[in-house]
Amino acid sequence: MSQPTITFNDGAAYEDFMGVWSRLAGTVFLEWLAPRPGLRWADIGCGNGASSEMLLDLCAPAMIEGIDPSPAQLDFARKRLAGRPVRFEQGGALDLPYPDGSVDAAMMALALFFVPYPARGVAEMARVVAPGGIVAAYSWDMLGGGFPIHLIHEEAEALGLVVPRPPSIESSRREDMHALWVAAGLRDVETRAITVTRSFPSFEAYWRTSLSGPTLSGVIARAPAGAGAALRDRVRARVPDDAAGGVTVTATANAVKGVKR
Ligand SMILES: C[S@@+](CC[C@H](N)C(=O)[O-])C[C@H]1O[C@@H](n2cnc3c(N)ncnc32)[C@H](O)[C@@H]1O
């Protein structure tokens, strides 16, 4: 059976589902990059602007070029960051509309594993960055169980449900990231894992948020009657309440950085 593709059609829903997670991992990622202020940035796969906002708040960039294929995500991003030094454009990582060496830093925040040819995407980032500049990314550790709703996917698959995956999940492994960066001719390549936790006031809040992403509600809608309730029960059994009645979930991303020669 062919897999349904994952598309991002709702910037507001994305914010609750993934924007919050992106900021948790992204804050650690940007501290690790430690870029100087005043850089020109490209935020590739900028989505609804969560990663661009983080750059603005934490790294004092001179300007950001944000690019993403999803009009709904870009619409949310433009409203969210109106008046800030960011320009959003529709497009993809495989063919960046920027001249060679025109930015000082390029990043893909939770986007590399959506790029169908990751090597080409990394080569494009390296092309548009000026010598001495930063090329970096972080992705959920999809194959190591690091995705924030990995446990739900695991239970869905145990019930025989088909869960769509991003097209290039192997690029989320640290060794693959390292190899991609070296192959793109970057120097001083380093990788690291970033583990973060997020608390929800109740299991219901966690479940609602998880269903608001681009995959799970579709998985349940396509499933036989009763499968959605069965899935919820199985997940409930694996996610314990804390003393205050809330739940806490852990996720792990892998990150990579290198320098343009
Ligand atoms: C998980 S979101 C990450 C968004 C944002 N960077 C963040 O940190 O929240 C992944 C984004 O990658 C975008 N995307 C999918 N395919 C892409 C491609 N070929 N090139 C660039 N972005 C792509 C999606 O539209 C989506 O907005």
Q: Ligand 1 pocket test: pick from 8, 90, 94, 117 the residue with the most ligand atoms within 8 Å of its Cβ.
A: 8
What is the number of the ligand 1 atom nearest to the C-alpha of 108? 6
Q: What stretches in the chain show pLDDT beneath 70?
A: 1-4
Alpha-carbon distance 96 to 261, whole Å?
A: 19
Residue 23 lies in a domain: yes
Degrees to nearest 5, angle at CA 240 with 237 and 243: 150
Query: CA 258, CA 126: separation in Å to the nearest integer?
Result: 9
End-to-end CA distance of the chain: 44
Looking at residue 1, its pLDDT comes to: 45
Asked if 22 and 110 count as a contact pair (C-beta separation under 8 A), the reply is yes
CB-CB contact of 54 with 43 (8 Å): no
Q: What is the CATH number of the domain that holds 148?
A: 3.40.50.150
Sign of dihedral through CA atoms 88, 69, 44, 93? negative
CA neighbours closer than 13 Å in the CB half-sphere of residue 261 = 9
Dihedral sign of CA atoms 30, 34, 36, 41 in order: negative
Query: Residue 99 belongs to what domain range?
Result: 11-259
Residue-wise pLDDT tens digits, 66-89: 999 999 999 999 999 999 999 999
Asked if residue 44 is part of any domain, the answer here is yes
Is the distance from the beta carbon of residue 92 to the nearest atom of ligand 1 less than 6 Å? yes
Nearest Cα to Cα of residue 86 among 69, 95, 74 = 74
DSSP bridge partners of 256: 137, 191
Q: Tell whether 6 is covered by a domain.
A: no
Three-class SS state of 68: strand
In a domain, 3, yes or no: no
| Amino acid 2: pLDDT | 55
Q: Is the CB of 110 inside a 6 Å radius of any atom of ligand 1?
A: yes
Q: What's the pLDDT at 3?
A: 62
Domains identified in the chain, total number: 1
Mutational test site, ligand 1, from 68, 80, 147, max ligand atoms within 8 Å of CB: 68
CB of 45 shorter than 6 A to ligand 1: yes
Q: Domain for residue 2, yes or no?
A: no
Ligand 1 in contact with 164 (CB < 6 A)?
no
Whether residue 196 is contained in a domain is answered as yes
Kindly state the helix (H) or strand (E) to which residue 30 belongs, with its residue range: helix 20-33
Phi, psi at 239, each rounded to 5°: -115, 100
- Give SS3 for 153: helix
Does residue 47's CB lie within 6 angstroms of at least one atom of ligand 1? yes
| Shortest-distance atom of ligand 1 to CA 68 | 22
Classify residue 1: in a domain, yes or no.
no
Residue 41 lies in a domain: yes
